[in-house]
Amino acid sequence: MHPLLAIRDIEKSFGPRTVLHSISLSLNRGEIGCLLGRSGCGKTTLLRLIAGFETPDKGSISIDGTSISTPDRVLPPEERGIGMVFQDYALFPHLTAAENIGFGLHALPARERKERVAELLSVIGLPDTADRYPHELSGGQQQRIALARALAPRPSLLLLDEPFSNLDPTLRESLSEEVRAILKNQDTTALLVTHDQKEGFAMADRIAVMDQGRILQWDTPKAVYETPAVPEVCEFIGEGVLLRGVVEDENTMATALGKIRGKPATDLAKGAPIRILIRPDEIEIDEKGAARGTVTRKTFRGRETLYNIKLSDSETITALSDNNRDLKIGDRCPLKCRPKRLVVYPE
């Protein structure tokens, strides 16, 4: 069975600048994907190519087995069966919530249109807002109305372009979970663009981490976090650091945190320089620890505090500790490293 969305070897340049390099990925029906990366990495350009707003220089894009974009043929956006949700909601201010949702349903008989609008208002949890105008709704409510409007024609694919960027952090987190539940309930295939890791992890089944027009890793959120494919993914995902070390034998690496034991996924020669991914929750401030470091920064996080701890002139790690221990900047502290999983890269 072919994937619902198939992107094959897409390249795109604007003048002399190449913004997408040989991009390939696919989504199965009902899956939610995410293009995750910093501003300027190419994720919005890829979304615009899928939507039909840009033409690829090379490669192809297909939906449900039908080609919709090649350098020689681009199906118009309105013929692609794609829905879009924008970061600024793009609701019509002079139309009610119900009229906004039903805007793309004029081909349906009035009764079916009314039933579809009522169904979606119920699905998004806003059944009593049908007669309210956008200015009478909160930001979160407006975004849900925008989502319902995009879902109303039952699109083959839904594209979401930074849909929560105008909302406060707490609402972003809760709404991203709600939107995922709505999309799964509707069995809608979707592709989200965001620079927010929490948003991507909360919503997506698969994540493409992008940098400088390339996909560094396309995998499940769990795999992207636990086993980053390349160091650049580590530097963007989570709060880990890459600690330098040297291979002593096949099961031991010497570092500024002491000896770290475990077998790397790839064979490395004795004496080879390496970098090991260390997450803050893998460092314990423990009197029995063999390593020592100096606190250079502390960030209170409610139940926990995040410490930046300098090990040497060139090595600093981060450690999470409960608030039973209150270290001051400049304090020396004993450290123990307990990696939950060993992620090692050749230097």
**CATH number of the domain where residue 255 is located:** 2.40.50.140
| Predicted pLDDT of residue 262 | 86
Whether the predicted model's global pTM rises above the 0.85 cut = yes
> Could you tell me if 259 and 195 lie in one domain?
no
DSSP-derived 3-state class of residue 48: helix
| Predicted pLDDT of residue 250 | 85
> Could you tell me if 79 and 126 lie in one domain?
yes
Contacts within 8 Å (CB) and 24+ apart, 162-166: 162/87, 162/193, 162/194, 162/195, 163/85, 163/86, 163/87, 163/192, 164/87, 164/194, 164/196, 164/199, 165/87, 165/194, 165/196, 166/87, 166/88, 166/89, 166/139
> Could you tell me if 245 and 230 lie in one domain?
no
> Could you tell me if 35 and 154 lie in one domain?
yes
> Could you tell me if 179 and 277 lie in one domain?
no
Q: Which amino acid is at 124?
A: I
Residue 217 CA to residue 263 CA, distance in Å, equals 23
| Predicted pLDDT of residue 263 | 82
Closest of 289, 329, 288 to residue 306, by C-alpha: 329
DSSP-derived 3-state class of residue 291: strand
Residue 241 CA to residue 337 CA, distance in Å, equals 13
| Predicted pLDDT of residue 301 | 87
| Predicted pLDDT of residue 170 | 80
Decide if 341 contacts 278 (C-beta within 8 A): no
> Could you tell me if 123 and 223 lie in one domain?
yes
- How distant is the alpha carbon of residue 159 from its chain centre? 14
Helix then strand then coil, in percent of the chain rounded to 5, is 25, 35, 40
> Could you tell me if 178 and 103 lie in one domain?
yes
How buried is 246 (Cβ within 10 angstroms: 0-12 exposed, 13-18 middle, 19+ buried)?
A: middle
DSSP H or E run through 221: helix 221-226
- Considering 235, 254, 277, which residue would you say is the last residue of a domain? 235
Q: Which amino acid is at 8?
A: R
Closest of 211, 242, 238, 203 to residue 224, by C-alpha: 238
> Could you tell me if 148 and 220 lie in one domain?
yes
| Predicted pLDDT of residue 325 | 80
- Considering 185, 204, 235, which residue would you say is the last residue of a domain? 235
Handedness of CA 55, 61, 62, 67 (dihedral sign): positive
| Predicted pLDDT of residue 146 | 92
> Could you tell me if 168 and 48 lie in one domain?
yes
Collect the ranges in the chain with pLDDT lower than 50. Answer: none
Residue 200 CA to residue 176 CA, distance in Å, equals 9
Q: What is the CATH number of the domain that holds 69?
A: 3.40.50.300
Residue 214 CA to residue 221 CA, distance in Å, equals 18
Domain that holds residue 292: 239-346
- 220: tokens are 């499940």
- The number of domains in the chain is 2
pLDDT, the chain, mean: 92
Residue 23 CA to residue 176 CA, distance in Å, equals 26
- Considering 212, 235, 258, which residue would you say is the last residue of a domain? 235
